[in-house]
Amino acid sequence: MTILILNGPNLNLLGQRDASHYGAKTLSDIESLITGSYPEVDFVFLQSNHEGDLIEAIQSARTGTIDALVANWGGFTHSSVAIHDALELLNIPKVEVHLSNIHAREGFRETSVTGRAMNGIITGFGADSYLLGIEAALKLLNRK
């Protein structure tokens, strides 16, 4: 079983960003938490500040080598029609995650353009949002 974990812009700066929203963990800490929590799963991690890199990763996931996608699109969540459109063509479980509660922040963050093409969204549980997202993806896989 292989799960693709995608992270969008500025998530490479976790640990340096506002801890009240994003917590103190770095992206590397979160990746270690994930691999340590699910040793039976293979993970492919990609963080990019470039929309095209994320779209290419989504398109590559269509080859049948990836079983599920868990993604934190960062700021692209609220604006990327291109990521949304790539996601619509991906027929595997797809779960969007956010460290902060996007509904308790600025009004523009409440809209998830990308979320419309995902199976669900988990928001507001810090690094545990990723673990909850993986659990949701595994449950969706077990339903197949």
Q: How far from 63 is each of 23, 30, 66, CA to CA, in Å?
A: 35, 26, 7
Dihedral of the CA atoms 25, 31, 33, 37 (nearest 10)?
Answer: 160
**Lookup: tokens for 52:** 């095209």
Longest dimension (CA), the chain: 40
Short-list 30, 18, 53, CA closest to 128: 30
* 22 is annotated as an active-site residue: yes
* 21 is annotated as an active-site residue: no
Residue in 22, 38, 78, 84 annotated catalytic: 22
Residue in 38, 78, 98, 103 annotated catalytic: 98
Distance CA 114, CA 80 (A): 7
What are the residues whose beta carbons fall under 8 Å from the beta carbon of 139, sequence distance 6 or more? none
Residues catalogued as catalytic: 22, 98
